Structures are given as structure tokens and as C-alpha cells.
Amino acid sequence: MPTEPPKSIPESQATPKRPSRLGVLGRAFLHSREASILIAGILLVIYFQSTAPAFLSWSNIANLVVFAATIAILAAGEVMVIICGEFDLSVGMVYALAPFVMFYAHEAGVPYVLAIVLGMAAGAVVGLINGLITVKLHIPSFITTLGTLFIINGFTLTISGGFPVQPHPDPFIFAVFGGPLGGFPVSQLLWAVAITALFQFILVKTRWGLHTVATGGNLLGASEVGIKIAWIKIGNFMLCSVLGAFAGMLDCFRISSADPLAGGTDYMFRATASAVIGGTLLTGGSGTVIGAFLGAVVLGILSDGFTLSGVSAYTFDMILGGAILITMVINVRLSKLRAAGGGK
């Protein structure tokens, strides 16, 4: 995986003049997919700070973190699904559903910690259904999850009657899952960072991650060596939906309200855009979770920056769309440069 710097220089490539260790690390970073997106992010920050000095104020950074953290968590799951060669359109609806499962479970007397687990279990069930239909009935996941998207949305609207509900968690639960610290959304940020780190680790260092890449990179080949491709796909659908459920509940605690109209396709598209901006290929077999995290941050910077600059909501979407395209074009160019001398 290109995200992994080589541990040592192979003898066959060793040149008489060995570059310093720092030099090797530096080069490896610049060659990594995450580098270009990080640089783009920094440039955007500089630009917005120069046009709107309030950009780097604490309250605005807090805004940005809230937005980016949620999308980053959704994107982590979407990355896994996309890498193994599938697509999940329904994750934004799971985001809206899970808080209600949790809320009603708590109403029924289940303690919050367990209710949160139940919310995530609901996500797992959705992921299992997405996976089973896709893998066992050979329906393209684009269609499968398009179907479940509407079903889940309808279900959430039905059980909620279309109205928001207000959970009243005890201070401990609130602090862990939703609480700001000194006005800053610390727990959100920590959850997003932790989940990104965990999933990047799973992707790059574990057997599950390797088999996910193998399944998306060469489906037939993976099954020919005995990788259980069905289970890899179903499992990643489940991970994605569980993360969607978790992100939904975090936001529910943060704003002390569960809205049946929250999340939805808007969040799903933003999560997917983050993954793609971060360097995950929609064709499968290649991607990074850290990249998706940075993609979510860049998307957040763009949204927030343009809002602060006083761009109207109508114009804003056009600019955002254009910005996504430009980022992508730059990204593709850079990865072509990186792959120069080899590649498919």
C-alpha cells in the first residue's frame, strides 16, 4: 500500500549515496495520497483567513469541527465499503434512524449505554441486509442501498411520526458522547480522530484490511486464493452502517435532539465526496481513511469559509461543486505523477 513507507531500502535498489532517514520519510510523505489533500486544506485556510478574519476564531473552528467530525466518521465506513468494491447510499438514513432506536429503547427503560449499543445494533442489521442482498442475490449495491435508503427513511418517519424528540442523558453520557468542553466540541473531535485512527489501522495493518483491498482490487483473484469475499463485503457494509448509527447518536446527544430529517442523502454524499477527495478510488481496491478524514476537513473548510465570506446559499453549492471537481482534478494529476514510471 502506498500509504506505507518502505521499512528499509531493498538491497537491489540501494544506491551508493543513501538519503537520510528524514529525507526518506519526507519523500514518502510527499508521495502519499494524503499529502496533496493536506496541502490543499492549508492553502484554503490561508485563503479564507485572509478574506474573513473570523475564520480562525474559536467559535468558527468549533463549527467546523462539528461538521467535519460527523462527516469524517461516516466517511470512514464509506471508505471501507468503496475499497471492497461496493457503495452505500443508505448510511445517511441510518444516521437518522439510530437516535430514534436509542431514544425509544431508553423510553422503554433501557439504560443509555445499552440503548446506544442497540442503536448501533440497528445499524448492524441494516448493514447485514445491505450486504446479504448485494452478495447473495447479486444486486449491485448501488441499487440495494438505494432501496434501503427509502425504506429506512420511511421507517424513521413512521416511528417518529415525523417529529423530533429530545433525549435527556445523564451528565456522564452527555460528556462522553456529545459534550462540548469549554464551548468546544471536544468529544466529537476525539471520537472522529479515534475512529479514523482505528479504521486506518484496520485497513493498513490487519488481515481484514488486506482482504478488503484484495476483494475490491481483484474480486475473482481474491476468491481464487480462498478469501471469503462475501463475508468481507457483508462485514464492511455492517461496519459502515454501525459508524453511521454511531455518528447519528453523537449528533443527537450534542444538540439534545433527534430529527427524523437529519443526515440523509446530503450527509451520505458529503461522506462519499470526502472519501473521494481524500484519494479513495470509486473503482475499488484503493483508498485511505486518513485521506477521507482530511477530505471531510477540506469540505468543512469550504462550506464554512464560503458561508463566512457571505456567499449566498444558492451560489454556495455551485462553488462547492466546482471546488470538489478542481480538488479531484488536481488529485488525479498528482497521483498520475506519483505513479509515473509504472501503474496500470
Partner 1 sequence: MSEEALRTESISKSFGRVTALRDVSIRLMRGEVLGLLGDNGAGKSTLMKILTGFHRPTTGKIFFEGKEIELKSVSHARALGIEPVYQDLALINEVNVYRNMFLQKELMRNKFFQILDDREMRRLAQEHLKQMRVNIPSVDVEISKLSGGQRQAIAVARSVYANAKVLLLDEPTAAMGVKESAMILDVIRQLKEKAQVAVIIVAHNYAHVFDVCDRVNLLQNGKITFDRATKDTSVEELMGLVLHEMREAREQIEHPKL
Binding site for partner 1 (CB under 8 A): 1-2, 6-7, 10, 12-13, 205-208, 210-211, 213-214, 217-218, 220-228, 285-286, 342-344
Looking at residue 218, its amino acid is N
- Contact (Cβ atoms closer than 8 angstroms) between residue 234 and residue 131: yes
- Contact (Cβ atoms closer than 8 angstroms) between residue 71 and residue 327: no
* Cβ-based nearer residue to partner 1, 59 or 283: 283
* Cβ-based nearer residue to partner 1, 229 or 302: 229
217 contacts: CB under 8 Å, gap ≥ 6: 284, 285, 286
What is the smallest separation between the CB atom of 216 and partner 1, expressed in angstroms? Answer: 8
Q: Cell 446530503 sits at which residue?
A: 266
What is the smallest separation between the CB atom of 78 and partner 1, expressed in angstroms? Answer: 18
* Cβ-based nearer residue to partner 1, 228 or 336: 228
100-115 burial: b if 16+ Cβ within 10 Å, else e: bbbbbbbeeeeebeeb
What is the smallest separation between the CB atom of 236 and partner 1, expressed in angstroms? Answer: 15
Residue 204: how many other CB atoms lie within 10 Å:
16
Phi then psi for residue 270, to 5 deg, are -65, -40
* Cβ-based nearer residue to partner 1, 310 or 343: 343
282 contacts: CB under 8 Å, gap ≥ 6: 82, 87, 276
Q: At what angle do helices 207-217 and 186-205 cross, to 10 degrees?
A: 70
* Cβ-based nearer residue to partner 1, 211 or 254: 211
* Cβ-based nearer residue to partner 1, 148 or 286: 286
What is the smallest separation between the CB atom of 224 and partner 1, expressed in angstroms? Answer: 4
* Cβ-based nearer residue to partner 1, 86 or 259: 86
Residue 25: how many other CB atoms lie within 10 Å:
12
What is the smallest separation between the CB atom of 282 and partner 1, expressed in angstroms? Answer: 14
Classify 15 as helix, strand or coil: coil
Residue 344: how many other CB atoms lie within 10 Å:
3
Q: What residues does 165 pair with on adjacent strands?
A: 258
Q: Which three cell numbers stand for residue 284?
A: 475499488
Measured in whole angstroms, the distance separating CA 263 from the mean position of its chain's CA atoms is 13
CB-hemisphere CA count at 13 Å for 271? 35
What is the smallest separation between the CB atom of 289 and partner 1, expressed in angstroms? Answer: 15
What is the smallest separation between the CB atom of 321 and partner 1, expressed in angstroms? Answer: 29
What is the smallest separation between the CB atom of 225 and partner 1, expressed in angstroms? Answer: 4
* Cβ-based nearer residue to partner 1, 10 or 182: 10
* Cβ-based nearer residue to partner 1, 143 or 198: 198
238 contacts: CB under 8 Å, gap ≥ 6: 123, 124, 127, 128, 131
What is the smallest separation between the CB atom of 158 and partner 1, expressed in angstroms? Answer: 40
